[in-house]
Amino acid sequence: MVSSQERAKNKKKMIEKLVNADNVSVFFESGKRLEKLLDCFSNSLCIDRKIFIAREMTKIHETFYRGTIDEVQRNILKSSHGLKGEFVVVLNSSVEVTEDQLSDEEVRVMKILTENLDPKLAIKIGSKLLNKSRNQIYKSSLKN
C-alpha cells in the first residue's frame, strides 16, 4: 500500500517532469483533481505557456478550452459544466520556437531535403512544405 506522502511525492515529481518537458504532453485528469493540477501549473509554469483541455471528449457535451493556463482555468470554472466530467489535457512544450526559428521537426525535414536534393531546390521545397520564407529556411540551414 502506498502512503499519502509517497503519492504526493510521486505527483510532485510527475508535475516537475511535465513542467520541464521539451515536448508536448498529453494526459487524462479527472474533474476532481483538475483544479488543483491547474493551480500547480499556474504556480510553476511560464505565464504564456499554452494549454488545451478537452472535456468529455467524443461525447455529446464535449467542450474545448485553449489558451494560457490562467485563461483556460478561468473559462472552465465559469462554464456551466465546471469541473464535471473527464478531461484530456494537452500541455505545450517548455521550449518555445520563435517565428524566425525552425522547430526540431522542421530542421529534420530540411536535413533530409538538403541531403537528397540540390541546396536551392531543397530550400524552395522546404519553404513550401513548412510554410516559411526561403530566407528563413536559408538562415536556419546556415546555423545547422
* Residue 96 forms part of a structural domain: no
pLDDT at 142: 66
Segments forming the whole domain that contains residue 84: 4-91
Domain finish residue from 50, 67, 91 = 91
Strand order across the 50-55 sheet: 25-30, 86-91, 50-55, 63-68
Locate 19 and state its grid cell: 513542467
Locate 138 and state its grid cell: 536559408
pLDDT at 74: 93
CATH of the domain at 44: 3.30.950.10
- The percent of residues above 90 in pLDDT, for the chain, comes to 24
**Are 56 and 124 members of one domain?**
no
pLDDT at 123: 86
The DSSP call for residue 22 is S
**Are 84 and 113 members of one domain?**
no
Q: How much is the average pLDDT of 14-35?
A: 85
Number of domains forming the structure of the chain: 2
User: What's the CA gap between 73 and 94, in Å, rounded?
Assistant: 19
pLDDT at 66: 93
**Are 82 and 116 members of one domain?**
no
Phi and psi angles of residue 68, each rounded to the nearest 5 degrees, phi first: -75, 165
* Residue 43 forms part of a structural domain: yes
Q: Which helix (H) or strand (E) holds 64?
A: strand 63-68
Q: How much is the average pLDDT of 39-67?
A: 87
**Are 58 and 116 members of one domain?**
no
